[in-house]
Amino acid sequence: MTRLLIAIDGPAGAGKGTLARRLADYYHLPHLDTGLTYRAVAHMLIARGWPLGDAPHAIEAAKLVDLSALDRSVLSAHAVGEAASKVAVIPEVRKILVDKQRTFAAQPGGAVLDGRDIGTVVCPDASVKLYVTASAEVRARRRLAEIEAKDGSGDFATILADIERRDERDMGRADSPLKPAADAHLLDTSEMDIEAAFCAARAIVDDAL
Ligand code: C5P
């Protein structure tokens, strides 16, 4: 069997999660949203009332993360994402989670992993690397539409400020900052709907097969 390992990175809200799920489905590959692993650590700390910057507790929590028990419905809350980007700066936490992510990536038929450091750190030998991005304004508009579709309401300026703050934290950290791998294909989805982004991504993957 040919091993196909697809690495997808990009900032929050660029559409990489949806794209990763669509590609995994299309190529019949298992998929891991690595953001959920950082969210799981943050969620555990919050649930136990432990401070987010407390490395020893965060390390304990990271060891307990079980990839087969990541519950998106609990972990998708906005506050958990914010908290995740704070625990993600702790190098020991990253090391523990990266080991688990690499085990997932080593499945015989391959896999799709999405996150911030897949092409650069977790799977530098991936068959194909995509760096999915979109302008901060477009990502904020999409996030607002998502919230409104769930009957919620949000403020564009607040969402935009949140996105810019998270970008800064993810791109500015010392350990494994968010950046495109040298051999990543850049996919700017600012002017694309999900269907167009999926077609463009599929063409890049097919080309690499
Ligand atoms: O992608 P998601 O929004 O779920 O990620 C939450 C946070 O987890 C990110 O803002 C980032 O700080 C961290 N993360 C990371 N490396 C990854 C995936 C996520 O540092 N591979």
Residues 43-86 have pLDDT tens digits of: 999 999 999 989 999 999 999 999 999 999 999 988 999 999 99
| Boundary of a domain, candidates 106, 138, 158 | 106
Pocket test for ligand 1, best of 8, 9, 32, 85 (most atoms within 8 A of CB): 85
Residue 154: domain span: 1-30+110-209
| Claim to verify: residue 26 and residue 129 sit in the same structural domain | yes
- Residue 129: strand pairing partners: 7
Task: Find out whether the beta carbon of 162 lies less than 6 Å from any atom of ligand 1.
Answer: no
DSSP the chain: ---EEEEEE--TTSSHHHHHHHHHHHTT--EEETHHHHHHHHHHHHHHT--TT-HHHHHHHHHH--GGG--HHHHT-HHHHHHHHHHTT-HHHHHHHHHHHHHHHT-TTEEEEEESSIIIII-TT-SEEEEEE--HHHHHHHHHHHHHHTT----HHHHHHHHHHHHHHHHH-SSS-S---TTPEEEE-TT--HHHHHHHHHHHHHHH-
User: d(Cα 202, Cα 205) in Å, to the nearest integer?
Assistant: 5
pLDDT of res. 151: 83
| Claim to verify: residue 18 and residue 114 sit in the same structural domain | yes
| Claim to verify: residue 193 and residue 121 sit in the same structural domain | yes
| Claim to verify: residue 116 and residue 23 sit in the same structural domain | yes
| Claim to verify: residue 44 and residue 134 sit in the same structural domain | no
| Boundary of a domain, candidates 85, 106, 127 | 106
| Claim to verify: residue 152 and residue 189 sit in the same structural domain | yes
Q: Tell me the two tokens of residue 36.
A: 């959920």
The answer on pLDDT for 38 being more than 90 is yes
| Claim to verify: residue 68 and residue 151 sit in the same structural domain | no
| Claim to verify: residue 46 and residue 26 sit in the same structural domain | no
Half-sphere exposure of 120 (CA within 13 A, CB side): 15
| Claim to verify: residue 46 and residue 5 sit in the same structural domain | no
Mean per-residue pLDDT for 161-169? 93
Greatest alpha-carbon pair distance for the chain in Å reads 49
| Claim to verify: residue 150 and residue 174 sit in the same structural domain | yes
pTM score, two decimals?
Answer: 0.96
Binding site, annotated residues:
10-18
| Claim to verify: residue 126 and residue 189 sit in the same structural domain | yes
Pick from 194, 209, 192: which is nearest to 19 by CA? 194
Mean per-residue pLDDT for 184-203? 96
- Under the banding of pLDDT at 50, 70 and 90, the label for residue 2 is confident
The answer on pLDDT for 149 being more than 80 is yes
Residue nearest to atom 11 of ligand 1 (CA): 85
Residue nearest to atom 20 of ligand 1 (CA): 88
122: domain CATH number is 3.40.50.300
Pocket test for ligand 1, best of 116, 129, 146, 163 (most atoms within 8 A of CB): 116
Domain count, the chain: 2
pLDDT of res. 1: 52
Q: Convert the pLDDT of each residue in 83-127 to its tens digit.
A: 999 999 999 999 999 999 999 999 999 999 999 999 999 999 999
| Claim to verify: residue 70 and residue 128 sit in the same structural domain | no
Half-sphere exposure of 81 (CA within 13 A, CB side): 17
| Boundary of a domain, candidates 75, 106, 137 | 106
- Among 5-9, 51-55, 150-154, top mean pLDDT goes to 5-9
For the chain, the average pLDDT equals 95
Task: Find out whether the beta carbon of 115 lies less than 6 Å from any atom of ligand 1.
Answer: yes
